[in-house]
A and B are shown apart, each in its own frame.
Chain A
Amino acid sequence: MVKGAKTIFGVAFFVSCVAASSSVADEIGDAERGEKLFRQCAACHQVGQGAKHRVGPHLNGIFGRKAGTVDGFTRYSEGLVRAGNDGLVWSLDKLHAYLENPKYLVSDTRMNFAGIEKREDRADVLAYLRQFSDNPADIPEAQPTALAPEVELSPETLAIVGDPDYGEYLASECTTCHQRDGSDQGIPSITGWPREDFLIAMHAYKRKIRPHPVMQSYAGRLSDEEIAALAAYFEGL
């Protein structure tokens, strides 16, 4: 273990703003600064020696782990477990995406967290967490910025108004599997989904950040306008 390993944060102490202007493009991030930033996570997550499950699972060994599989933690959402089965493994870039906006990876995640907007802040938190994983040697150190694409959708993409007729036609491809009446046996329901959640999820499949191969294939050939049309249609069902 290296510095910081002794720390367990049991108290929620939200750090609203940490002035951070020094750029650390060549390193994974600043673990010491990450330790401070982690306080906003500590209301729900423990990490380090003796860390226990709280509202969320402990985060020891998170790097390289299949999502939704920590022993003894039973409060995962269905979607998180499904994502793990589909192949979601907590690599550096996936953790970056999850910290930026948890819903980008798992729509029904119970991690009720607005996300860490600044890439550098995320890199620092991850540098801190990385110290508590077994094989830090396997975890890339260099060029974290190159490894972590920004996942947030641009305001322009979010603002596209879809053609509802087109959405209805395109939706016929979805309803072969996703039942219109909202049943979710084996396949999640997308009926009545909030528009933004829908957009976020589909763009994540399109960019292959979410793992499911069927969804990656379908989303991959949809334009931004087509995704917007679908989002509008399903929200209105």
Chain B
Amino acid sequence: MKLNRRAFIGTGAAAAAALQAPSVWGAAHGRPKVVVIGGGAGGATAARYLAKDSKGEIDVTLVEPSRQYYTCFFSNLYIGGFRDLSSIAHSYGTLASEYGINVVHDWATGIDRDAKTVTLAGGAVLPYDKLVLSPGIDFVEGAVPGWDLSTQHKMPHAYKAGSQTELLKAQIEAMPEGGRFAMVAPPNPYRCPPGPYERVSMVAHLLKDINPTAKILVVDPKANFSKQALFEEGWAKHYPGMVERIGPDFGGENVSVNADEMTVDIDGVVEKIDVCNVIPAQKAGRICELAGINEGNWAPVDGHTMASRMDESIHVLGDATNQGDMPKSGFSANSQAKVAAMAIRGDLTGSKVFPAKFSNTCWSLIDTDDGVKVGASYQATDEKIAKVDGFVSQTGEDAALRKATYEESLGWYAGITSDMFG
């Protein structure tokens, strides 16, 4: 990660401002206030575009607990040994110093929709004219019997990048020779549809190097999954005999785990394993529930503006939303953030508003220089965000195209992270 001096001072200044802030932020301030909760692909992008495009007309505060943000996208490449962890770490210094965003490293613990305020764990109360929630995912309690957050150090989810990803990789590296790695895959809908299967590929890549007789067991409640033909072709080609997947027809949806015994129970058959990556069922980040804007597990939004269907002063982005056809991905969140920023700016400053356009592409790496992609473009209708046109890599593509696709993903990573963090 690059951290230049100016960016560093920016973070320091923002942190100092946060410490000195009174419990209610400058209510006398004339500029309209937008508070953004969550500094990932949705929130960081929204904050940056609001600040950049309003040219100081909007007072933007970004609330994010982590000072160091690890992108979920490309975290599988860290497991596979293609990236080091520092290369997927980002800080908020530039957003503070270059864009004048108030970056507050704290947890949002409550939202008062009538008073239009956000309460932080540290006690501060932030008033807003518009609120943007981009909290990502949390896990559904009890989704995998035997697993909860207290067992995540034994059976990591590694589905929020950072220490969990590091832990999972360390466990894989410490596996006994010829040992067994198990993944409990999530049911739909969940963050990053190809993510678990790219992870299987990256774990296989790592094991092929350091523990070639090890095996991978995937327990999956879904009959089909994203880019399935591409992954299965790649596994057979690069990692023959290593990956076994148990779908719902063989009990893949009836699974429990025992973290003390390191076992997985698949429809009554108990398997001993050495490493277990549990990716449970998911729901919108908890702040959406606290705000009372969920319907079921997710926050429904109007695709034209990304405004909550429950409260037009709140816009919701990314994984936490129920919006229609877009997959839950960093690319989607980044795309939705720009639509939301435009709509909010239009409401607060009267700037021009254009029709919403969305897009998404998800690249996955199967093995060295073997990249694939799936994507689509979308538009807003009154009912939902609807898919317009899509594409997916084909099986049997030549090596040069796969390499070019991987290189394209590197370009995209550099592009989207600079689009998020400046």
Contacts and interface: CB of A to CB of B under 8 A. Distances in A.
A82 B49 contact: no
Interface in A5-45: none
A182 to B, nearest CB: 11
B365 to A, nearest CB: 13
A117 interface: no
Contact of B389 (A168, A173, A183, A221): A221
Interface residues of A, number: 31
Given A176-B412, A177-B416, A187-B412, A216 B391 contact: yes
Interface stretch (B155-163, B288-296, B403-411): B403-411
Contact of A170 (B357, B379, B400, B411): B357
B117 interface: no
Given A172-B49, A173-B338, A214 B361 contact: yes
A73 interface: no
Contacts of B338: 169, 172-173
B298 interface: no
Contacts of A172: 49, 338, 419
B357 to A, nearest CB: 6
B357 A173 contact: yes
Contacts of A165: 352
A179 B361 CA distance: 16
B414 interface: yes
Contact of A178 (B53, B331, B401, B415): B415
B333 to A, nearest CB: 11
B415 A166 contact: no
A91 interface: no
B306 interface: no
Contacts of A87: 401
Contacts of A166: 352, 354
Interface string A157-193: 0000000011011101101111111011111000000
A176 B419 contact: yes
A89 to B, nearest CB: 12
A176 B411 contact: no
A145 interface: no
14 contacts: A85-B401, A86-B404, A165-B352, A169-B342, A170-B354, A173-B357, A176-B334, A176-B419, A179-B411, A180-B418, A186-B404, A214-B361, A218-B359, A220-B377
Given A176-B419, A217-B388, 17 more contacts: A87-B401, A166-B352, A175-B415, A176-B334, A176-B359, A176-B412, A177-B361, A177-B408, A179-B415, A183-B411, A185-B410, A213-B375, A214-B391, A217-B389, A218-B377, A220-B377, A221-B389
Interface of B: 49, 53, 331, 334-335, 338, 342, 352, 354, 357, 359, 361, 373, 375-377, 379, 388-391, 400-401, 403-404, 406-412, 414-416, 418-419
Interface of A: 82, 84-87, 165-166, 168-170, 172-173, 175-181, 183-187, 213-214, 216-218, 220-221
